[in-house]
Amino acid sequence: MSPLVHPPREGVFYGLSAYLLWGVVPLYFVALKHIPAAGMLAHRILWSLVLLSVLVLITGRGRAMIRLLSDRVSLTYLLVSALLIALNWTTFIYAVSQQEVLQASLGYFINPLVSVLLGFLFLGERMRPGQMLGVVLAVGGVLVMALQQGQLPWIALVLAFSFGLYGLVRKLRPVDPLAGLGVETAMLAPLALLYLLVPSISGAGPFWGTRPGDMLLLPLAGVVTSVPLILFAAAARRLQLSTLGFLQYLAPSINFLLAVLVFREPFGTSQLLGFCFIWAGLLSFSLEGLLTQKRTAEALS
């Protein structure tokens, strides 16, 4: 039986776990929205570094990290990817704190289409008709929202393009996923530590936050950041990309439901129309992937 029909259960479990965690993560940041976005980013970096350091030691990736630290070309790429992922994290935290989770979900719905566009522009990848239609519909959805609301949905665009560019940079210079994330986090850690330890610079208040529960919640930032990435990496090793492609819509769908049903963010006609364009684009994108997959399977049989 084809693995595309019955994907490995272990891989599906890892993939579902990763995207479910990414889907509900706004609930965590809502609990800490009284902390400035930059301060929350600093905690996210430092606690991720603690967790990743332990994991690198347990998994024996220390040598891989040392090799990366001695490779100037890889370090240059990782510095760029570190800045991109920091921008993505900061924007997401800001979106939650400003009750813009709906825009965040839009950004991650758009992300697969942005990745296809970046592959076409920078990697010479061929854009198939269904993918091209998906990109056009996504642009249409963004323009509808911009015209109706008088401004571009910049949070969604920053999230989509920062994560898309992050993936592009990582593809241009492939490295061990865990070691690479460890190096990226280590590069950002000095500035994060400086920001938190020098209140006169940040105005962020005490390192452990300002409320009783902060001392318990802040260290979880490392878990919230790193665990879904590790689960995703485990899923990617076990599943076809087509299967991961369908699973990836789970996280923004949960974000969308939280925004509308739990956080009660405004969802009017302009948002609905814009999202309909995006969803139509994703449907075209997904159907193209299924057709291509079917043709490939038939050619190999």
What is the maximum span of the chain, computed from C-alpha positions, in angstroms?
67
- Residues with pLDDT less than 50, the chain: 1-6
In DSSP notation, 227-280 reads HHHHHHHHHHHHS-HHHHHHHTTHHHHHHHHIIIIIS-----HHHHHHHHHHHH
What single DSSP character describes residue 210? S
68 burial via Cβ count (<10 Å: 0-12, 13-18, 19+)? buried
**Amino acid 262: pLDDT:** 95
pLDDT digits (tens, 9 = 90+) for 128-179: 898 899 999 999 999 988 888 788 899 999 999 999 999 899 889 888 888 9
How many Å apart are CA 204 and CA 208, to the nearest integer? 10
**Amino acid 171: pLDDT:** 87
Q: Is the pTM of this model over 0.75?
A: yes
Residues in Cβ contact with 131 at an 8 Å cutoff, skipping those fewer than 6 apart: 113, 116, 284, 285, 288
How many Å apart are CA 164 and CA 275, to the nearest integer? 19
How many Å apart are CA 82 and CA 75, to the nearest integer? 10
User: CA angle 203-204-207, nearest 5°?
Assistant: 130
How many Å apart are CA 213 and CA 216, to the nearest integer? 6
Residues in Cβ contact with 168 at an 8 Å cutoff, skipping those fewer than 6 apart: 115, 118, 119, 122, 123
**Amino acid 204: pLDDT:** 54
72 burial via Cβ count (<10 Å: 0-12, 13-18, 19+)? exposed
